[in-house]
Amino acid sequence: RIDGDRLWRTLMDLAKIGATPKGGLCRLALTDLDRQGRDLFVSWCEAAGCTVTVDEVGNIFARRPGRNPDRPAVCMGSHLDTQPTGGRFDGIYGVLAGLEVIRSLNDQGIETDAPIDLIVWTNEEGARFSPPMLGSGAAMGVFTLDHVLDIRDSDGLRLGDELARIGYKGTVPVTGHVMGAYFEAHIEQGPVLEAEGFEIGVVTGAQGQRWYEATVTGRESHAGPTPMRLRRDALAGAAVMMEAVEAIALEVGGDACSTIGRVQVHPDSRNVIPGRVWFTTDLRNPDSDALARMDAMLRERLAAIAEKRGLTLELTDFWAFPTTPFAPELVDRVRESAQRRGLTHRDIVSGAGHDAVYVARKVPTTMIFIPCEGGLSHNEAENIRPDHAASGCAVLADAVLATAG
């Protein structure tokens, strides 16, 4: 019913844009490479007979019309942007699995009752412009348009300017797109499906996240003649805090995760005791109470370390979303599709945030996971099996057809 070879070829074609020597992708949001990727995708959609529109934050909508233009569209989608050292499938798989569904419907001359929309959301990764999921967040009214357009990357470039520069500042009002349902296929990005031998993950929801920024301030002084006892070394203190952040997830256990992804040291000179250190923190837990406990541990422990060392700590909330359940009727539909196709499957909670998390606030939503090699993602070596890619696409096709009628 779907063409797994064509899907794979299409994935490999898109993986040429922004390819890294290590076999991954670096196609950061709203760069020239992102534009090239978007352009190629749009050309494929037009060739498949879709009408393409773009909204005010650059989200792309490719519509395959239905018999009944008054029915809200059944939507599929994901994102095309990557991490700086990202893989070929994170996000991209969901978009191109959707394209393969449309191509297969065309091949088989199948008309649906509701229109089908294939969506590319802007800046899902949160790598160049942070936080993540900005396109879907803006579309769902989580962020105002002005707020999103004003976000800057670390070179100070404005999201809105970069969007215009690459030619993807569209005119469709950002919250104006009507969606009847949303399905997002994605690689698991974790080790569970592969380790347990399942072909399909039936995603029942996504775990909650809390992101922070910490600034630790001490006193700059000379690395030589300043005795250890007189130092207020912001980095030595930050190192102990980083260990504490790791310990929080280890102590809470279960699925708890804690990560520090970015660090900046000031003045960043070899023989100057650092006066200021900035770092990010990402706490996650599928259990809301446990996540709240992690939040309290973070605040308490970092403050205690700062206090003990005569350092100042500024800990700010940067971004968060609560544990998000997906629409039970769509989750069931995915499970049934997998079952009917004879694919092994298990229910799973997403460890990552996805555009589906924001879409779920307004629209019945769910996701379909396929295994990835070693559970590895946000890594250039990220990999999947072509047969898994085809299986996930088939389940997506069934679920979308069952919904669109």
Ligand X SMILES: NC(=O)NCCC(=O)O
Positions touching ligand X (CB under 6 A) are 90, 124-126, 132, 222-224, 271, 352-354
Residue 263 binds what, of a copy of itself, ligand X, none (CB under 5 to 8 Å, by partner type)? Answer: a copy of itself
Nearer to a copy of itself, 274 or 364 (CB): 274
Nearer to ligand X, 8 or 89 (CB): 89
Q: Which residue from 273, 370, 396, 400 is in contact with a copy of itself, where contact means CB under 8 A?
A: 273
Residues recorded for the chain = 405
Structure token pair of residue 346: 């298990």
C-beta atoms surrounding 21 within 10 Å? 6
209 near a copy of itself (CB under 8 A): yes
CA–CA separation, 105 vs 194, rounded Å? 30
Q: Are 121 and 78 in contact (CB under 8 A)?
A: yes
- Residues 150-189 binding a copy of itself (CB under 8 A) are 188-189
Nearer to ligand X, 136 or 391 (CB): 136
Nearer to ligand X, 98 or 115 (CB): 98
Nearer to ligand X, 136 or 337 (CB): 136
Q: Are 370 and 345 in contact (CB under 8 A)?
A: no
Q: Are 115 and 102 in contact (CB under 8 A)?
A: no
Q: What are phi and psi of 217, to 5 degrees?
A: -120, 130
Cα distances (angstroms) measured from residue 152 to each of 44, 105, 149, 358: 31, 40, 8, 21
DSSP string, 214-253: EEEE-B-EETTTS-GGG-B-HHHHHHHHHHHHHHHHHHH-
Residue 336 binds what, of ligand X, a copy of itself, none (CB under 5 to 8 Å, by partner type)? Answer: none
Nearer to a copy of itself, 64 or 378 (CB): 378
Q: Which residue from 127, 203, 338, 357 is in contact with a copy of itself, where contact means CB under 8 A?
A: 127
Sign, CA dihedral 329-330-331-332, equals positive
Cis before 267? omega within 30: yes
Structure token pair of residue 279: 């770092």
User: Least distance (Å) from a copy of itself to the CB of residue 127?
Assistant: 4
Residue 228 binds what, of ligand X, a copy of itself, none (CB under 5 to 8 Å, by partner type)? Answer: a copy of itself
Among the listed ranges 38-46, 106-114, 329-337, 370-378, the one in contact with a copy of itself (CB under 8 A) is 370-378
341 near a copy of itself (CB under 8 A): no
Among the listed ranges 5-13, 230-238, 292-300, 392-400, the one in contact with a copy of itself (CB under 8 A) is 230-238
Residue 287 binds what, of ligand X, a copy of itself, none (CB under 5 to 8 Å, by partner type)? Answer: none
